[in-house]
Amino acid sequence: MHIVGIGASAGGLASLEDFFRNTPSDTGMAFLVVQHLDPNHKAMLAELLQRYTEMPVFEAQQNMPVRADSVYVIPPNRELRVVDETLKLEEPAQVRGLRLPINVLFSSLASARNERAIAVVLSGMGSDGTLGLQAIKATGGLSVVESPESAQFDAMPKSAIAAGCADIVAPASEMPARILAYVRQVPEPGDSPGQSPSGPTHSLVRLAPILKLLQKHTRHDFSLYKPTTLNRRIERRMVIHGISELDDYTRFLADNPQEVQLLFRELLIGVTEFFRDPGTWDYLTETGLPDLIAHRPRDGTLRAWVAGCSTGEEAYSLAIAFTEALEQAEPGRAPDLQIFASDISPEAISVARRGQYPLSIENAVSEARLARFFTRHDRYYQIRPSIRDKVLFARHDVILDPPFTRLDMIACRNLLIYFDLALQRRILPLFHYSLRPNGLLMLGSSETIGRLNHLFAPLKPKMRLYRCKPFQSARHSDFLLKSFPPMSTLPREQPVSSSQTPPQGATNTLQSAADHVLLQSYAPAAVVLNANADIVYISGRTGKYLEPAAGKANWNIHAMAREGLREPLYSALKKASGQQEPVELTGLPVQTEAGTQAVDVIIRPLGEPDAIKGMTMVVFRDAPAPAPSRRRSPAAAARADQAALSQQYQQEIDSLRQQAKESREELQASNEELQSTNEELQSANEELTTSKEEMLSMNEELQTINTELQTKLDDLALAQSDMCKRAPDLAPSGAGLGTRKPR
């Protein structure tokens, strides 16, 4: 049974009327209605909705079972949840004005019904319902939002649309037909993928234009995913938009970049939970991890990678299991643990970083672990910092990006099942390359290593736990190098010799040729920086003073400056930005490949010509070494050198002290200003938020009461008209009473 959760607020009664007037009474679905109501006022919503539908309308009661072809309405001063197919009522935890009952219903609906959950957001003020729609989307349910043009109050629909949560946007009167079309055409969970009633499975050749559009906008390549998975998800988006032909949907995608992002999110499978497959986790905690810990160096750090972590439950489960195993192996010693958790979905990574999970995780996490590793709040559990700090979340594509290495364990659960065989044979050797000898590989219950027995040895085949074998071959290495070549994208400075041919156009005249040789051979090394301190031009050989930083190419001078230059350059650039005169630094000790070299630096702001206006030139020169005196004795020379060296060190110490003092004063002043501004903004924000929520709440309650009073007036007018028709001998008076006519 599909359960439809409907959320409305101010002005929502008219939208509810349009919705139920157009809803058949035999859909086979149940409808749960939540509206912002006055907690001290008796609600008439059930009676009002009964006029617009032939389905029975009930006011929800505690533990009431949910039946098909029925409507259930929230009572005043309560929060409505769904557990299995039963209604649960609770008193609101938040004060009046801050309650979000629509989010509460949608979140519980997502947990209880998964793909069979349908959420509808109608007219209303505020943003209630947006977070709940995100939960519905994450579990594969359907999100429907009233079009802002047709809503009496468009704040709630606009909030949901802006968050990218809306699968269908339509007027309330059209929603029932769109929902029924979706339910009839999209295959039920558990059916064979790709065998939906909408038509036959499309081949990868026909899906190629769609996959190219996805790769162009998201950089992620889905061509090696299983066609059945691709077909099912694409068919779902086609049904949502009422498109029956694949070519039409391809054109629709090309014209709507937002739909490309929605399809991208649709293709990402985000189903996970804490300690999934408990037997596997019990074995891992009691046997697998203790054995792994016993064979590692005592001073080493354990490193693990959770590939395809989704919203983070798997990564936190692994961190908890590692923590318990480490404490049993080495009591009283703080565990050294680092877990990398990666996914290509930015939304899933954001949820994982917050570390907030619904109260329903109590079904999967023991009471002892909840008490120790989580902090309970009114509506969610928060991961404690002791576990959160052990996990590093990052956006990472296991297909395209270089892998994490020197790992003790990799957990890749139910990700490979969506890849075709060719991609699986590429990813599993990659995992072997990333693991240390005897490292652990944990796969999902439906995944295996296939024919790669020379790379992995099964520990518990039924549990899909494997140990990494020491294996190396030329073929294996070639495969990895071709798949993930070493980073060689950084531009390298080419040495210039006098024998090299000058650039075209520089040898047209004797003067230009001589200038070219002089600049290359005798001019000092220099760079030109833009306003962000990024290098935009290089003159001469700067390799002695600058070097590319490891990792992604970064042309910022602060990242490229060698040891000894970075701090003085930062202060000097900051000082030069506020004046026209050049800033000079002398005798800076720079660590080069040949040892320590004294360097003079000149920072000159550039004001003309217009092409370089606002930029800064940094010039490097090697400081001349003092000439030794021939008349001094060796002892005197040694003393003089020592004195000169001491003086140089003292000058450097004084300079560093002055820089540190200036930086400390600037930072202290900035910190005080920021702290003061932050406190003022926070105070103002709290006041505005409270006032806004109270006004919204009062406005919604007044709207509801006004609608009910208007309905009563209509009923009284109808009753008066009936009385007049039934008693023709009574004439209405000004007070609404009749007087008998004389015969």
Kindly report, residue by residue over 634-675, the tens digit of the pLDDT. 777 677 767 767 776 777 777 677 777 777 776 776 776 676
Specify the pLDDT at position 98.
59
Mean pLDDT of 492-516: 45
Query: Do residues 708 and 45 touch, judged by C-beta distance below 8 A?
Result: no
If pLDDT is split at 50, 70 and 90, which confidence band does 490 have? very low
9 noted as active-site residue: yes
CA 495 to chain centre: 44
pLDDT band at 370 (very low <50, low <70, confident <90, very high): very high
Please tell me the predicted confidence (pLDDT) of residue 231: 78
d(CA 526, CA 483): 38
Enter the CATH code of domain 278-483: 3.40.50.150
Give the C-alpha separation, 236 to 167, whole Å: 10
Q: Binning pLDDT at 50, 70 and 90, where does residue 41 land?
A: low
pLDDT at 474 over 70: no
Residue 192 confidence class, pLDDT cut points 50, 70, 90: very low
Report the C-alpha gap between 250 and 243 in whole angstroms: 10
Would you call the peptide bond into 176 cis, given omega within 30 degrees of 0 as the criterion?
no
CATH 3.30.450.20 in the chain is located at 520-622
Segment among 115-119, 313-317, 641-645 with least mean pLDDT: 641-645
- Token pair listed for 685: 């924000």
> Which CATH homologous superfamily contains domain 520-622?
PAS domain (3.30.450.20)
Percent of the chain scoring above 70 in pLDDT: 78
| pLDDT, position 305 | 92
- Residue 322 contacts residue 337 (beta carbons within 8 Å): yes
Query: What is the CATH number assigned to the segment(s) 204-267?
Result: 1.10.155
**In the predicted structure, residue 495 carries a pLDDT above the cut 90:** no
**Directed axis angle between helix 634-726 and helix 566-576, to 10°?**
60
36, 150, 396, 571: the catalytic one is: 36
For residue 79, pLDDT over 90 is answered with no
Highest mean pLDDT among 63-67, 152-156, 485-489: 63-67
Among the residues of 116-255, which ranges form H helices? 130-138, 155-162, 175-185, 204-218, 227-240, 246-255
Q: What is the pLDDT of residues 257-288, one digit of tens each?
A: 888 887 887 777 666 788 888 888 888 888 88
Q: What is the pLDDT of residues 287-311, one digit of tens each?
A: 888 888 887 766 678 889 999 888 8
Q: Give the per-residue pLDDT at 350.
A: 85
Mean pLDDT of 375-383: 86
What is the rounded average pLDDT of the residues 89-100? 69
Q: How many CB atoms lie within 10 A of CB 403?
A: 21
Instruction: Find, among 529, 563, 545, the residue nearest to 493 by Cα.
Output: 545
Confidence at 632, pLDDT banded by 50, 70, 90 = low
H-helix or E-strand spanning residue 391: strand 391-395
DSSP strand pairing (380-383 vs 374-376) = antiparallel
Q: How confident is the model at residue 329 (pLDDT cuts 50, 70, 90)?
A: confident
Beginning with the edge strand found earlier in the chain, give each strand of the sheet holding 535-539 in spatial order: 535-539, 525-529, 616-622, 595-605, 583-592
Backbone angles phi, psi at 392, to 5 degrees: -110, 115
Q: What are the residues whose beta carbons fall under 8 Å from the beta carbon of 225, sequence distance 6 or more?
A: 267, 418, 419, 420, 423
- State residue 271's pLDDT score: 66
Are the beta carbons of 310 and 357 closer than 8 angstroms?
no
Q: What is the pLDDT of residue 141?
A: 80
Counting every residue written for the chain, the total comes to 743
> What is residue 496's predicted lDDT score, i.e. its pLDDT?
38
Written as six digits, the tokens of 442 are 């944990």
What pLDDT is stored for residue 736 in this prediction?
47
> Which of these is catalytic: 128, 154, 343, 408?
128
pLDDT digits (tens, 9 = 90+) for 573-627: 888 876 777 888 887 888 777 777 888 888 888 877 777 778 888 988 887 765 5
- Residues facing residue 73 across a β-bridge: 33, 59
Task: State yes or no: pLDDT of 480 exceeds 70.
Answer: no
Distance of CA 633 to the CA centre of its chain: 71
Query: pLDDT-based confidence at 567, cuts 50/70/90?
Result: confident
Report whether 569 contacts 558 (CB < 8 A).
Answer: yes
pLDDT value of residue 67: 92
Band (pLDDT 50/70/90 cuts) for residue 631 is low
**Residue 146 in this model has a pLDDT that exceeds 90:** yes
Catalytic-labelled residue, pool 9, 107, 127, 571 = 9
CATH 1.10.155 domain locations along the chain: 204-267
CATH class of the domain at 3-185? alpha beta
List the one residue out of 185, 151, 158 whose CA is nearest residue 10: 151
Q: Which of 57, 63, 62 is nearest to 32 (CA)?
A: 57
Residue 128 known to be catalytic: yes
The answer to whether the beta carbons of residues 156 and 128 sit under 8 Å apart is yes
* Lowest-confidence segment of 2-16, 241-255, 626-640 by average pLDDT: 626-640
Predicted local distance difference test score (pLDDT) of residue 196? 41
- Where does CATH 3.40.50.180 sit in the chain? 3-185
Question: Are the C-beta atoms of residues 652 and 589 closer than 8 Å to each other?
Answer: yes
Query: What does the mean pLDDT of the chain come to?
Result: 77
Neighbours of 273 (CB within 10 A): 17
How far is it, in rounded angstroms, from Cα 557 to Cα 572?
A: 13
